[in-house]
Amino acid sequence: MEIKKINDDIHLIKLGGLESNIYLIKKKVLIDTGLGYHKKMLAEAFDSLNLKFTDIERIIFTHAHYDHIGGRDMFTEAKTAIHKDDASILKQGDITKSCAFAFKKTLEPKKADLVLNDSDIIRIDDMRLDVIHTPGHTEGSICLHDENSKILFTGDTIFSDTIGRTDLPGSSTEDMMKSLNKLKGLEISKILPGHGNIIDTDAEKQIDKIIRMYTD
């Protein structure tokens, strides 16, 4: 387990294994929850930050794959948000498109509290996150761009040296290419992906390099 302070507002919690990265925003909002396999370890991470699971008010899902949403029920006080094109996966408990079947899990049908659209704005106190719809890995994948810090949360659209898979149920290589082009020219200081290491130096050059690898 690793906790990394990105800045005064953002902490990264890494639980290892197949767990997604979990981003804690202003100690009250999460971007993704991981699988939910390591509840004790996550509780220890929260305790080290003087937090309880009930302190989380909102969860923003970058997409509806089980390794990003499986821990949602730990946060009983949190409202959930997801892009409209992945919302039905949660509502229907779709084990195929959520890839829950790959983890030998079921998915309890549960409607999201907030359905997101491209260009929506999410405000967390003085932070503004712009929602960028980036289908490809899933139909409703999103990136989130912090207007002030220029940090880009990329979910499973872009990692530190590659892109997300497009051979899964609901994936599309064509949509992924369009999404990568959509991110070109965006002002980016750091890339905070859904798995693996962050990019905190030359982020724009690195993202352009990755995009060129797959779109040129």
Helix (H) or strand (E) holding 62: none
Tell me the domains of the chain and their CATH numbers. 2-215 (3.60.15.10)
Q: What is the pLDDT of residue 208?
A: 86
Determine the pLDDT at residue 101: 95
Instruction: Check residue 207 and give its pLDDT.
Output: 84
Reported as a single tens digit per residue, the pLDDT across 154-212 is: 999 999 999 999 999 999 999 999 999 999 889 999 999 999 999 998 998 888 888 88
The confidence score (pLDDT) of residue 184 equals 87
Placement of tokens 């930050």 in the chain: 49
**pLDDT per residue over 132-156, tens digit each?**
999 999 999 999 999 999 999 999 9
pLDDT of 15 reads 94
Least confident of 115-119, 200-204, 212-216: 212-216
CA distance 58 to 146: 17
Listed residue (141, 112, 144) closest to 127, CA to CA: 144
Would you say the pTM of this structure is higher than 0.85?
Answer: yes
Average pLDDT for residues 31-37, to the nearest whole number?
A: 96
Instruction: Decide: residue 21, CB within 10 A, 0-12 exposed, 13-18 middle, 19+ buried.
Output: buried
- Kindly provide the b/e burial profile for residues 184-195, where b requires at least 16 CB atoms within 10 angstroms of the residue's own CB: eebebbbbbbbb
pLDDT (0 to 100) of residue 177: 94
| pLDDT at residue 149, rounded to an integer | 97
Strand ranges (E), the chain: 2-5, 10-14, 22-25, 29-31, 58-60, 79-83, 114-116, 121-124, 127-133, 142-146, 151-155, 190-193
Q: At 75, which amino acid appears?
A: F
- Is the pLDDT reported for residue 215 higher than 80? no
pLDDT at residue 119, as a whole number: 98
Contact 122, 23 (CB under 8 A): no
Per-residue pLDDT for 216 more than 80? no
